[in-house]
Structure 1
Amino acid sequence: MVLHVSDPSLHPGGPNPYENQTLAIARELLSATREKRSLFAQMRDQMRWDDKLLAWTMGNPGLRVQLFRFIDCLPALRSNTEVARHLQEYLSQESVELPSALKGLLNFADASSLPGQAAATTVKTAVETLARKYIAGETVQQALKSIEQLRKQRMAFTVDLLGEAVITETEAQQYLDRYLELMQALTTASQRWSAIPQIDQADGEALPRVQVSVKLTAFYSQFDPLDAVGSQARVSDRIRTLLRRAKELGAAVHFDMEQYTYKDLTLAILKQILLEDEFRDRSDIGVTLQAYLRDSLTDLQGLIAWAKERGCPVTVRLVKGAYWDQETIKAVQHDWAHPVYSLKSSTDANFEAMTRLLLEHHDYLYAAIGSHNVRSQAHAIAIAQALKIPARRFELQVLYGMADKLADALVGQGYRVRVYCPYGDLIPGMAYLIRRLLENTANSSFLRQNLEERPVDDLLAPPAMETQSHLPETLKPAFPNVADTDYADAAERDRAQTALSNLRSQLGQSYLPLIDGQYRNTAETIDSVNPSNPSEVIGTIGLISIDQAEQAIQAAKAAFPAWRKTPASERAAILRRAADLMAERRADLSALMVLEGGKALHQADPEVSEAIDFCRYYADEMERLDQGYAYDLPGETNRYLYQPRGISVIISPWNFPLAIPTGMTVASLAAGNCTLLKPANSTGAIAAKLTEILVEAGIPKGVFQYVPGRGSTVGSHLVQHPDVHMITFTGSQEVGCQIYAEAAVLRPGQKHLKRVVAEMGGKNAIIVDESADLDQAVQGVVYSAFGYSGQKCSACSRVIVMASIYDTFVARLVEATRSLNIGPADQPSTQVGPVIDAAAQSRIREAIAQGKTEATVALEMDAPDTGYFVGPVIFTDVPPTGRLAQEEIFGPVLAVMKAETFGEAIALANGTAYALTGGLYSRTPSHIAQAEAGFEVGNVYINRSITGAIVSRQPFGGFKLSGVGSKAGGPDYLMQFLEPRVITENVQRQGFAPIEGVE
């Protein structure tokens, strides 16, 4: 049951019956927050350094960005020399306009000099002082002092434990244990506190003196909406433990809301737990809603309906939201609809609508209104006064260190005010600090606008709701990539499971070659099996003979003259139709990759996106290239044009069974070449589905042909054939080099040199330096190394770590990997599935055995017995010249290496014959610059995983022995499938030629 809001005044931006009283209360509160402002102005020139840093950022956007980046990095720096060096690197950039005082502070030539040390000490102290304004303490004891001071001011509290991101199961258990210890410590301390009726009692009822705020996702390191059932089970067990102990201690528990992708599952988990008999009558529990989310009003309606069913209120903490930038960026990068309002005024309008809805249903939900905006709090008070809401059902909240004057004013009016008090180490606290600094210094911030003494009428004006998205055009990508499926949506999860069920009911079909527009029977077949369960046959693939290969080439030759003359716009239209068909069949294609390729769903779905993008991108690119270029002079015209090469053979791999064959094939077809696709036999059914789509999209017979066959016979015949003009290959270095050599031989009757494009793998490294965000680095390395069981040509197989953080990094890396779920690819919880077949399993196991003779095993995980599984293995103490550091293993095997200097790290990374992908986790600008200039790979990824290149954004491909040719998904990829021509015409006649612009 969901409530439907019929009253127009409850809609964001609608008429507000509480407006007059809201303004009266707001003016009174605003006056209180502006008292003694003139004294502040007099003291402004004598501000402390932390005040100066904050003040400077308000007037200089460039300084704001760089200073906040420096602050984010600061806790990782281990000496004053490092602090001074980074301070100069961040703030000496041309885009940063420095105040004179800060220029003077940075006026040193050597970071280790006395002036450098003094600058480091000054700034570090200032930042630490700044952090302590917003963080209640670094230890429980410090936090208790802050809490007791708040109680003296008649303010209640809730405590949030700052900490590293929970990326291992050990850390998830530690998170629970630390909260259990925190509640015990707070409860013990509370026994000596004197009662303060304003915050400890309400309506004759004693209120919990202790309240903690927790993040639900931190109770399970592998929390994932795709695995809704598994995540719920693991999280719920720990939540029950927490709630039981809280009841024993008499403490209240509030659940914070995090990123949008977790919202629906978070609410579903809490609703289910709190309907259980054991917890159904608990009113000392709360949940948070974020008003900047476009669907938050609907969520509140759902909570009201749920609370009516439950029969006992819980508290809803209503906040504006703290992750606007992150949510916006994520939506842009994933091509998803933006979950947050574009304008701050829209969030404020929605906040007011939710405040009214929440307070008008105070019989079912208690309200905690969290805001530093005077109008927002005044609006809540106006409603509470008008409705005579009992004190137990209504309180106001602020963040520690922010809006202190507002909090004092609210306390003075007799309201219960609760202060959100984060505590913990400053290193993990920096992310929290940055969010607070962003909030304080943003142009749209009420706190900033009030500090600048904007006109009262402007500050208190009713917020307007946007009528359309105001996302800047600069945030919109040039090429509109298709969106991956958002599995936070339950309907999408259901659709995926339905597709898997439907596929299982259709297994065992035959997939025949397509030659000259007809599906042909073959003398030889091969079974395609599920690598998670080899007894499950996905389908039977017909393998062509050499005679049939010859028939396919002759059909291509016959079709080529008409296809080359087909207008580029018509060829592009066919590819766009193919893209549309893929989009319609997304769930089915993903399901087939899960079963035939052993690829977990969250790895398979983006591959469908990539295939769709290839179709649309190459269609666009061919239309662009088809326009040619003109270079005209008086009396002469010059035209630069492209024509197709002829017959093109595509030899595709099994590890990206849809995206790579699609990309190579449609590029060839877009350019006007007749194209033969020989896929890897392991994933022949997926290639057959691609064939069906291309035929349905309108590819003429003979123009495209699906020719599965043995590489040693049919593959070799196609490569050596004198009528073949081009071979495009993705696979192993051994096979790629063989193709390159065979294609170079001029055969009898051959009148052209063959073009070879080959992508042949890598031995990819990620460097982690001492300034890296280790939460981000560990997660990125684990994902890059073990996603799809390390079977990506871009996968991380080496991680090079600076010596000063080596032990810390390795310990977290091992635990994070140990926390991964290994199992069949069709299980939603699986992060590491099978390898492709028995031969791959045997080869990887042999490499692991060899590795044990040259390095130390830090982790070797067990794997299921059924299926072609290999558990992740991490080696340490890996010698730079050993097999583990030099040879591509193509499995879940990671070599960890140590470097004493960043220069050594770059040298180790470059010390192989490959140059495909590489990554760097660093917050040191000079290291980032060095990697950009000197990391010898085709794709360098900085502070993100090194897999998952996206068409147009990150064109993909390498050099050295990683391959030859231009980057797939890039602006020059199609040129490889085309021959350029220049046509020059002398347009003079008897010395006369028209000259444009001259009469």
Structure 2
Amino acid sequence: MVAQADKITLDTRYESKTQSIAQELIKSTRQKNNIFNRMRDQMRWDDKVLDWTMANPGLRVQMFRFIDTIPALQSKTEIANHFQQYMSTEEVELPNALKGILNFSDADSFPAQTAAATITKAVETLAYKYIAGENIAEVIKTIDRLRKEGMNFTIDLLGEAVITEVEAEDYLQRYINLIEQLSQKAQTWQRKEGIDLADGIELPQVQVSVKLTAFYSQFDPLNPVGSKKQVCDRLRILLRKAAEVGAAIHFDMEQYRYKDLTLQILKELLIEEEFRSRTDLGITLQAYLRDSYQDLQGIIEWVKERGHPLTVRLVKGAYWDQETIKSEQNHWQQPVYNKKAATDLNYERMTQLLLENHEYLYAAIGSHNVRSQALACAIAETLDIPPRRFEMQVLYGMGDKLAQALVKRGHRVRVYSPYGKLLPGMAYLIRRLLENTANSSFIKQNQEEKPIAELIAPPVANDDRARGERLSAPTGNNFQYAPDTDYADTDKRTKAEQALAKVKQELGKTYLPLINGEYIETSNYLDSLNPSRANELVGKVGQISVEHAEQAMNAAKEAFNSWKATSATDRANILRKAADIMEQRRHELNAWICLEVGKIIPQADGEVSEAIDFCRYYASEMERLATGKTYDIAGENNRYFYQPKGIAVVISPWNFPFAIATGMTVAALVTGNCTLLKPAATSSIIAAKLTEILVEAGIPKGVFQYVPGKGSEVGSYLVEHKDTHVIAFTGSREVGCQIYADAAKLQPGQKHLKRVIAEMGGKNAIIVDESADLDQAVVGVVQSAFGYSGQKCSACSRVIVAAPVYDAFLDRLVEATKSLNIGATDDPNIQMGPVIDLQARDRILEYIAQGKQQSELALEMPIPDGGYYISPTIFSNVAADHTIAQEEIFGPVLAIIKSNSFDEALAIANGTDYALTGGLYSRTPSHIQQASKEFEVGNLYINRNITGAIVARQPFGGFKLSGVGSKAGGPDYLVQFLDPRVVTENIQRQGFAPIEGAE
């Protein structure tokens, strides 16, 4: 998806004029009273805070974290407490003034309260340097001031992180109100040349900037049709109102994953007959994206077809850190340039292309880099571009001096002016502070009076290649992660759609067990049904008998000695080949998972990635373990090494039918054990696909066997069999405990004790404290509780919320959940599908009935017909000992519990029989530290959702009654399938021994 910009050479005829204009502009921006040249004792506190953060990287991180937290803190005591916690870390080197105000021992004391008031005021003052006002009345005052200074405006409404449909409707209405009020005010303005007129041509006096994702809470590149419909329905309303009152609308660009869909929607909407002739609309492009030059070329061609110009706002881009982090975490190619010089160069190329096509596009050059603006001026003056066709833009509070200098030169300047409350504006403030304090920031370098010649020199970018897609694990293991599919990529989305259509043509086939390398006919068959459409047959699966199970066990015993003698590298290479086949068949496998067990495609895709990672990680781990260890002393050699246990029985679950089945199976195989896979009945076809892959990868006959059958008969027989050495199980607590008990019984002729590895679920809690980012917490809880209809062993089923934020959290959680679309999972518009089968649905409904008797029902939604659907169900005012707060339900049922202290919240979280996963949303360092020590779970997730563990990075597994055994995907998982041995040899002969290093 990421493309390198064409190697465009800038026209050298612009350079001389660019240098001349840049010299003129930069001299105007340098004033002797800026914050870097004043005496520190004359500086305001907000200036000092900003200055200190520039000088100390450790302080910069902690200060921004603290600033991010302030809006959630409800008292001076809390502010003082958090300020002290953030500033007291070892990596922070504090200036004396900050050390002084931190010198208190009691957060309720007068010094602490004074410190809180001082720092809060400084941060608020800092924030409102970049925010045009808290309300429309303040914004109008700002606009009046800007107009007096010869500048125009565009207004951006802060807080566009829309997570509910109620918020999306509110966003639309707030913009309608905004343009109505501003347009009414505009009637009192006298039209001015350079602001409202360009060479006598009238311009809209009011402009607002909007973000497409804020018009639909479920905006998703995987669902371009559904997203477009919802967004366009609301955009048409806004565009019609804007036309009615004479306001201009500009569309901002957001994160990279939304870019292509944003452009697609706007190109389709703005070419509709009703809007085709509008020239008061605009689109934003970000030059730090590697494919942005091609996007601009595409827009030019589209506008030629449209026949009427619109504006392109060209910016560098505001999400660099986020984009680089996201691409690394997902093992995707990095979409942004790594070096600022490369971004600057691309910006100049795009500026040239944009201005040289001024008859098709109006240019809005948004930059605080004097050279960038000077180049635009030089091109415009050289080409004698009419004033209507270009303007300069700066951010409110960041480019004041540059804006004034541009106005003085006679250019039209527009100031991008956000407005809103401090709380929703905090993310915007942090982005501005990051820009202002970055070492590469032009503003910072200019304020520090870096030599002018260096500042305005042409950018030179050498070798700014994108980072590779695949990154090695962070554990010393040399395997590379399989990146999840990026469905923002149209080609990949098309392949997924084609694979789903192809798999649907293959429904209804019969799948047979594999025993000793042969597919065998059986007398009994199981119908596997699509839980989204209960009358749709996915396929028929042959069920083995006890006699077949004995044949499989005998075949495994016969193959064991040969497989045991196969080198670790040869076994590992079979796993690597299997991983490659999975990668090739990824979209097909996703489709089978979607149709047989009712997962939406992106979650199925993550499961396939995990299966691939298991193969590659365990392959490398086995090669590491195979080297053994040597402990030699004079006269004695000691070798420590491993050997396989024997026969492994893998009993895999339906909720992760491919990833967990693969992980347990290949772990047993690569360690040299012959393995029998008995999958859950409802996911047997997916296990058959895994079988096909392992056979194609070259697994010898008898070494691996696919044995679907009834758990109470075949499963029990294999667990109790005297020749079974290892049982790897994932499933319910009831079945897991029974396997544990049965495996402990010594059978006649059995000469070993069986090893049981069992993962048996959880009653997982997320704690939300009073300092939490509620936007983040609500989204994370919805994903954790209702992803795959709550049928993950790691799913959140309890949320323990601090009393001060309980009501606010619950209200938003309910609305966010209401915004989910429920239905068949092969529909890209759907976020939540069915539960697995009729038995599961009935069991979950019984728990819901108990919840209604004990607690308050906060949410129950209508559900579609035709499948095993259950509403996402939320209960409030749940007591910690209620049934729905104690028993694992394995469905979309969520209990919300109020806590009066953090200690109480931890006690509630730990008050169950389980210890699998847990989560914490908090910006209080002491709470994070305490939870890390005291939250009794195998996997604790802080400020993120609690599902989706990643091999090697986040090995998965719990304790208490959540299971027994080492963590899957961890460095000691394979050891469970091996027996360690030590061989000691006395190497003395008649009183002498070889001496290492002797000549």
CA contact (8 A) 1:220 1:235 kept: yes
Distance in structure 1 (CA, Å) of the matches to 2:435 and 2:934: 38
Q: Secondary structure at the residue paired with 1:199?
A: coil
Q: Taking structure 2 as the reference length, what is the TM-score of the superposition?
A: 0.98
2:122 aligned with 1:126, yes or no? Answer: yes
Instruction: Report the equivalent of 2:106.
Output: 110
Q: Secondary structure at the residue paired with 1:799?
A: strand
Change (3 A) 1:998 1:228: same
Instruction: Report the equivalent of 1:605.
Output: 605
2:186 aligned with 1:190, yes or no? Answer: yes
Instruction: Report the equivalent of 2:783.
Output: 783
Q: Taking structure 1 as the reference length, what is the TM-score of the superposition?
A: 0.98
Deviations 1:737-759 (A, max 9, x none): 00000000000000000000000
Q: Secondary structure at the residue paired with 1:903?
A: helix
Instruction: Report the equivalent of 2:900.
Output: 900
Query: 1:602 offset after TM fit, Å?
Result: 1.3
Distance in structure 2 (CA, Å) of the matches to 1:472 and 1:932: 33
Q: Secondary structure at the residue paired with 1:398?
A: strand
For 2:927, the aligned partner's letter is: H
CA contact (8 A) 1:160 1:212 kept: yes
Please give the root-mean-square deviation of Cα atoms over the aligned residues, in Å: 1.5
Deviations 1:860-912 (A, max 9, x none): 01111211110110001111111100000000100000000000000000010
1:29-178 paired onto structure 2 within 5 Å? 29-36=25-32, 41-163=37-159, 165-178=161-174
Distance in structure 1 (CA, Å) of the matches to 2:515 and 2:659: 22
Identify the match of residue 257 of structure 1 among 253, 256, 260. 253
Deviates most, 493-502 or 77-86: 493-502
CA contact (8 A) 2:194 2:410 kept: yes
Query: 1:998 offset after TM fit, Å?
Result: 4.7
For 1:79, the aligned partner's letter is: S
Distance in structure 2 (CA, Å) of the matches to 1:958 and 1:157: 55
Change (3 A) 1:260 1:93: same
Change (3 A) 1:235 1:38: closer
Change (3 A) 1:836 1:491: same
Q: Secondary structure at the residue paired with 2:194?
A: helix
Q: Secondary structure at the residue paired with 2:223?
A: helix
Distance in structure 1 (CA, Å) of the matches to 2:671 and 2:557: 16
Query: 1:469 offset after TM fit, Å?
Result: 3.1
Q: Secondary structure at the residue paired with 2:13?
A: coil
Q: Secondary structure at the residue paired with 2:854?
A: coil
Deviations 1:677-723 (A, max 9, x none): 00011111100000000000000000000000000100000000000
CA contact (8 A) 1:164 1:775 kept: no
1:847-996 paired onto structure 2 within 5 Å? 847-996=847-996
Deviations 1:922-980 (A, max 9, x none): 00000000110000000000000000111111100000000000000010000001111
1:590-629 paired onto structure 2 within 5 Å? 590-629=590-629
Distance in structure 2 (CA, Å) of the matches to 1:705 and 1:5: 51
Deviations 1:279-313 (A, max 9, x none): 00000000100000000000000000000000100
For 2:312, the aligned partner's letter is: V
Q: Secondary structure at the residue paired with 2:562?
A: helix
Instruction: Report the equivalent of 1:550.
Output: 550
Q: Secondary structure at the residue paired with 1:841?
A: helix
Distance in structure 1 (CA, Å) of the matches to 2:18 and 2:434: 27
Instruction: Report the equivalent of 1:487.
Output: 487
Distance in structure 2 (CA, Å) of the matches to 1:352 and 1:344: 12
Distance in structure 2 (CA, Å) of the matches to 1:752 and 1:574: 29
Distance in structure 2 (CA, Å) of the matches to 1:369 and 1:41: 29
Instruction: Report the equivalent of 2:240.
Output: 244
1:522-921 paired onto structure 2 within 5 Å? 522-921=522-921
Q: Secondary structure at the residue paired with 2:162?
A: coil
Runs of 4+ that moved beyond 4 A: 3-6, 37-40, 470-477
Query: 1:197 offset after TM fit, Å?
Result: 1.1
Q: How many residues in Structure 1 have an aligned counterpart in Structure 2?
A: 993
Instruction: Report the equivalent of 2:298.
Output: 302
Q: Secondary structure at the residue paired with 1:103?
A: helix
Distance in structure 1 (CA, Å) of the matches to 2:851 and 2:212: 40
Instruction: Report the equivalent of 1:497.
Output: 497
Deviations 1:581-616 (A, max 9, x none): 000000000000111111111111110100100000
Query: 1:475 offset after TM fit, Å?
Result: 8.9
Query: 1:521 offset after TM fit, Å?
Result: 0.5
Distance in structure 2 (CA, Å) of the matches to 1:366 and 1:760: 61
Instruction: Report the equivalent of 2:197.
Output: 201
Change (3 A) 1:39 1:64: closer
Deviates most, 401-410 or 32-41: 32-41
For 1:64, the aligned partner's letter is: R
Deviations 1:542-595 (A, max 9, x none): 000000000000000000000000000000000000000000000000000111
Query: 1:164 offset after TM fit, Å?
Result: 5.3
Q: Secondary structure at the residue paired with 1:931?
A: helix
CA contact (8 A) 1:797 1:893 kept: yes
Identify the match of residue 312 of structure 1 among 308, 311, 315. 308
Query: 1:629 offset after TM fit, Å?
Result: 1.0
Identify the match of residue 464 of structure 1 among 429, 435, 460. 460
Distance in structure 2 (CA, Å) of the matches to 1:40 and 1:795: 51
Q: Secondary structure at the residue paired with 1:866?
A: coil
Change (3 A) 1:42 1:784: closer
Deviations 1:449-501 (A, max 9, x none): 11111111211111122424376999975352110001111111111111111
CA contact (8 A) 2:470 2:481 kept: no
Distance in structure 1 (CA, Å) of the matches to 2:511 and 2:344: 58
CA contact (8 A) 1:440 1:447 kept: yes
1:386-397 paired onto structure 2 within 5 Å? 386-397=382-393
Distance in structure 2 (CA, Å) of the matches to 1:215 and 1:497: 28
2:228 aligned with 1:232, yes or no? Answer: yes
Q: Secondary structure at the residue paired with 1:689?
A: helix
1:325-474 paired onto structure 2 within 5 Å? 325-469=321-465
Deviations 1:741-779 (A, max 9, x none): 000000000000000000000000000001000000000
Instruction: Report the equivalent of 1:324.
Output: 320
Distance in structure 1 (CA, Å) of the matches to 2:469 and 2:66: 28
Deviations 1:807-856 (A, max 9, x none): 00000000000000000010001111011100001111111011111001
CA contact (8 A) 1:166 1:221 kept: yes
For 1:413, the aligned partner's letter is: R
For 2:435, the aligned partner's letter is: E
Deviations 1:128-159 (A, max 9, x none): 00001000011111111111111110000000
2:280 aligned with 1:268, yes or no? Answer: no
CA contact (8 A) 1:332 1:476 kept: no
Identify the match of residue 286 of structure 2 among 283, 290, 302. 290
Distance in structure 2 (CA, Å) of the matches to 1:16 and 1:552: 77
Distance in structure 1 (CA, Å) of the matches to 2:102 and 2:134: 29
For 2:115, the aligned partner's letter is: A
Distance in structure 2 (CA, Å) of the matches to 1:763 and 1:995: 59
Instruction: Report the equivalent of 2:18.
Output: 22
2:175 aligned with 1:179, yes or no? Answer: yes
Query: 1:997 offset after TM fit, Å?
Result: 3.6
Q: Secondary structure at the residue paired with 1:198?
A: coil
Distance in structure 1 (CA, Å) of the matches to 2:414 and 2:961: 62
Instruction: Report the equivalent of 2:513.
Output: 513
For 1:577, the aligned partner's letter is: K
Query: 1:321 offset after TM fit, Å?
Result: 0.2
Q: Secondary structure at the residue paired with 1:18?
A: helix
CA contact (8 A) 1:4 1:301 kept: no
Deviations 1:22-52 (A, max 9, x none): 1111111111111335896244431011101
Distance in structure 2 (CA, Å) of the matches to 1:688 and 1:817: 35
Deviations 1:508-547 (A, max 9, x none): 1110000000000111111001111111101100000000
Deviations 1:393-448 (A, max 9, x none): 00000000002111110000110000000000000111000000000000110001
